[in-house]
Every structure is written in structure tokens, then in C-alpha cells.
Amino acid sequence: MATASKAVRPHFGGQEPNFRVVTLLEPAKKEMILYLEKEHQKQPIDHVPTRYARIEVIVKGSRDENQLFELIVDLCSDQVVKKQHHKGKHSYIDSGYMQAVEKACLADERVQAEILTLNLPPEATVVVEAWAYATDGMNDMAERLTMCWFYMRLLDNPDANYYAYPLDICAEVSENLQVCKIYRLPTKPSERINDEKRPYDRRKMHSTASSEYHPELRPTPRTTTKPYQVVQPDGPSFQVDGQHVSWEKWSFRVGFNYREGLTLHDTRYDGRSLFYRLSQSEMFVPYGDPRAPYARKAAFDLGNDGAGINANNLQLGCDCLGTIKYFNAHHNTPSGEPLKMPNVVCCHEQDDGILWKHTNFRTKNPVVARSRILVLQTIITVSNYEYIFAWHFGQDASIVYEIRATGILSTVPTDLDVREKIAYGTVVAPGVLAPYHQHLFCLRIDPAIDGHANSLVVEESCPLPIDDPSIHNPFGIGYMTEQKMIEEEGGFDLDFTKNRTFKFVNEKKINGITGTPVGFKLVRRRSLSGGQVHHAIEWW
């Protein structure tokens, strides 16, 4: 990172760039395939792919505007081989900038005057939370705007849950940290953005036991659970060599970057290639409250925020149990220096119940095998939410990508005396609405099923014809599966009436038992949004 940053600095006329990204540019797939094939065949490696770094920097233009540049650095020659100005584009959001937005917003005299009209309790502390200003693609801005949502904290503790007290003020802040709009939020279904100077309704205040999460702020927790110890006296069954992990018949390499977080490379089972690369490529969280400005709550938590940047330092005993191997990662400081991120990935084994069982009903003799899985886990915090991402590798050659959402709901204020039914949210506390929303997770899957000549197949279950004399199905109970090769890119619904599934197959490799191409099945989910709106996005 330091080498790449040093190569970039002379290209901006003495101006010190704000380094947003300094990361590895993965080698071209064609080069890597040749390298990996020789490695697995234990042949001499006569060519190592050139290492490149990809850098994003922000510098000031002639009118003091922010300009985003992307550069590619050859790490062998320490030379910049590409420099591109992305006009009208923005880099991801970083916590430092968002903190500056929050500070500027609270320091604005008009905002302070608006807060005074709320007549808040004397013990209240106002908290501003900055969000990206989402657009529908038709009204994109050349200058970045940031939404500022307001909350209050009633306890003199920085860990107090301010989401329990949303305020009905909203502000918009420009890229140069100027407040450009202040308005009041709708608190009824029929209400719209307004300028009404109404005070905070103190009937919304409630006990800490009903809304606080931190142990220091809650009643004493119950003590009904006994100690649960996960011990492996002989150590774990996996082996780690640098970034390479092997376990049972599995092998793969662990990667990590600022945007996607955990990535997996060259995944193999029993020596057979399965996937060239696996990662999560995006996470989209659209909110279903149609009232302005809530429609702008549409978070791209990887593209805008970054799973790697927001990764937690995982702690033994809570985040991960057992004998753990931790992987560190690095990001960069604004000056381009390496910034160590410790323990962002944990690798451990888990018991997974029964792998298989059979009892011979004649002899009454049971045979059972326990299942164990290898887990690669990372956890990120993006504002109010935590996301637990875990790759599970099974002894049955299965791969499961588990996602769990925890944390706290993003809340909005609602009127205590409202008589209208709120169709797009749930009231979770007095005067506090949690709008309906979805978490849409997009995986980037680069299959390599027994090689790289792979195809995508859609498979459906369908009944056998009952009135076709050439097909024997007299009772109408017969059914079969049909396969169709996907020839062009596109989106496909998950049709439960046909039990539709998708498979990555290698048509050149035939299973010796079934006589069909070897493959790996993909199971996915669907969106609930209307098909024509910009929230209704489904990725492959």
C-alpha cells in the first residue's frame, strides 16, 4: 500500500491526495487459471501474474470542487500505468466524512433554532445520523448530498439507544458541508413534508428497560443458562498456510477487500475445481415507506459503505467459539498508509447435528454419523444494523452462505394520536415506527465446475402428460424434470409452482453413474417490490 501510494503522489502537481482506496487489483483470470493449473499439477511455475494496485483518490479541482481519480499501479515497476478522472462520480462513503457531516449539521444555526422549537427535555442529547442521499437514476446529482436524520438520547451514556426516540426534523447537507434544506417529517400517513414548528410529544418517553440494549443500561439479566464449553483438546481439523485453508476434502484461499469484505478463491473439493471466486458483491436495503423523504432510504451497504471497511474485530467467546484461526486485513489511511484491521475473519469448526442416519427396521440396528462444518465468518456494522456473513463448508460437499441480520431497527417518528392505519410499518414503541424494508443480498459467483467451460441451466419439475397415448401415466401421478440452458444474461423469477432451480454445469464432464453433466445447484430468494420501481432489483 505504501509503495502504491508513493507512486501516485507525484501525479497531482504537489497536491496531497485524499486516498480513498488502495487495494489489490486481482490478476486477469486467464493468467490466474494458468498459474493455478501449474500449481495444482505441481509443475514448475515459470510466470507469476503481474501484481497491480487499484487506487482511488480525491483532489481539489480549479474551482475547489472534489475530483475523483482512479489509478492503476504496476507494483513490479512502481509505475502508474493508468489514470482516469471520473467526472461527476463519487467514491464510497467513509465514516470520517459522515462524522464531518453530522458535526456541520449540528453546528448550523438554523438547525439549532429548529431543535429549540422541539422543546426537548433538559436531559436530552440530540444525535444526527447521516445517510447517503439515494436517487432513482433519473435525478442524479453531480454534487453529493447527505440526508441527516435526527434522534435524541435521554441517558448520559454514549451507548444509549437513540433509535428509541426519532425526532421529526430532517436536514440535507451538501458536499462542501453546508446545510441546504431543513424541514419537518410527516408523522401521519396522510401527512407530507412540512414546516410546522410542533414541540416533541413527551408522552413518547418510556422506560429504559423497554428500549435499551447495553447491559449497563438494563436490569440485571437472568442467570438460567449453564456454562457451555466448546473445546478441541487436540486442536482443529483444518490447516492454514498463509491465506490457504484446507479441511476434510476442501481447499480454498481467503481474500479480503474494502468493498466486498471476505472473498474466497480457487475453491476445490477432493482436488476437483468448483469455484474460481466467491464473494458478496452488493447488499441493497430498500425501505417501503412511500412518503417523502423516506423513499430516499435505500442503502447500498457494500457499494456506498463497504463490507470490508465496516468489518468488526471479532472476539473469542462471543463472535466465535472453539479453536479459532483469525485473519487480519488492511485498509488505508487518508494519507495512503496501511491501516491494520485485526481479526476481521474467523475460521472455526462447528457441530452441525446429524449428517445421516439409518436404522435397519429388521435388525433394529441404527447407524448415525455426526455432521461437522467449517465456518468462515465476518461481521459488519453499518449504522444501526449488524450483518453476520458466514460461509459453511459441509462434509457432504455442500456450500451454504448464511446471512443473519441483527442490531437495531432504523426508526421514524409517528403521531401518538394517529387514527389512520399505517400500512407500511410496525409501531415498536410509543410514537416510534419501524418501516417495512428488505435486505437484498447479491452474490458474485464465478463457477469452475471441473474446469471453466461451465453453463447455467434452469431446471423445473413438471407433470407427465395424462392424455398422451405414447406416455404411460394412467393415474396422473407421474412427473419429471425439464432442463433449459440459459443462453443470454437476464433475470429469472423463482417459480415455486414448478420448483424451479438453477444449476452450474460442465457439459463436457459426465457423471459416470447418472449419465448427466456434473453440476452444482443454486438456491436463491426474491424481492417483494413492484416490478417496475427502482427498488425492485434482482441480481445474478
φ/ψ of 538, rounded to 5, equals -125, 130
Identity of the amino acid at 506: N
* Catalytic site includes residue 140: no
> d(Cα 302, Cα 284) in Å, to the nearest integer?
8
Nearest to 376 by CA among 330, 327, 340, 331: 327
Identity of the amino acid at 288: G
| Residue 312, Cβ density class (10 Å: 0-12 exposed, 13-18 middle, ≥19 buried) | middle
**How large is the C-alpha radius of gyration of the chain?**
27
The secondary element (H helix, E strand) that includes residue 50 is none
161, 186 Cβ separation under 8 angstroms = no
DSSP secondary structure, 245-311, as one string: EEETTEEEEEEEETTTEEEEEEEEETTEEEEEEEEEEEEEEEB---STTGGG-EEEIIIII-TTTTB
| Bridge partners of residue 392, in order along the sequence | 375, 400
**Which residue in the list 168, 301, 415, 450 is annotated as catalytic?**
301
> d(Cα 140, Cα 117) in Å, to the nearest integer?
33
DSSP secondary structure, 435-470, as one string: E-B--EEEEEEEE-TTSS--EEEEEEEEEPPSS-TT
φ/ψ of 305, rounded to 5, equals -115, -45
> d(Cα 459, Cα 184) in Å, to the nearest integer?
51
* Catalytic site includes residue 385: yes
DSSP-based three-state secondary structure for 517 = strand
| Bridge partners of residue 366, in order along the sequence | 359
> d(Cα 161, Cα 206) in Å, to the nearest integer?
12
**Which residue in the list 289, 385, 387, 450 is annotated as catalytic?**
385
Nearest to 162 by CA among 383, 438, 414: 383
**C-alpha grid cell, residue 518:** 456434473
Please measure the distance between the N-terminal and C-terminal CA atoms of the chain and give it in whole angstroms: 32
Give catalytic residues, as residue numbers: 301, 385
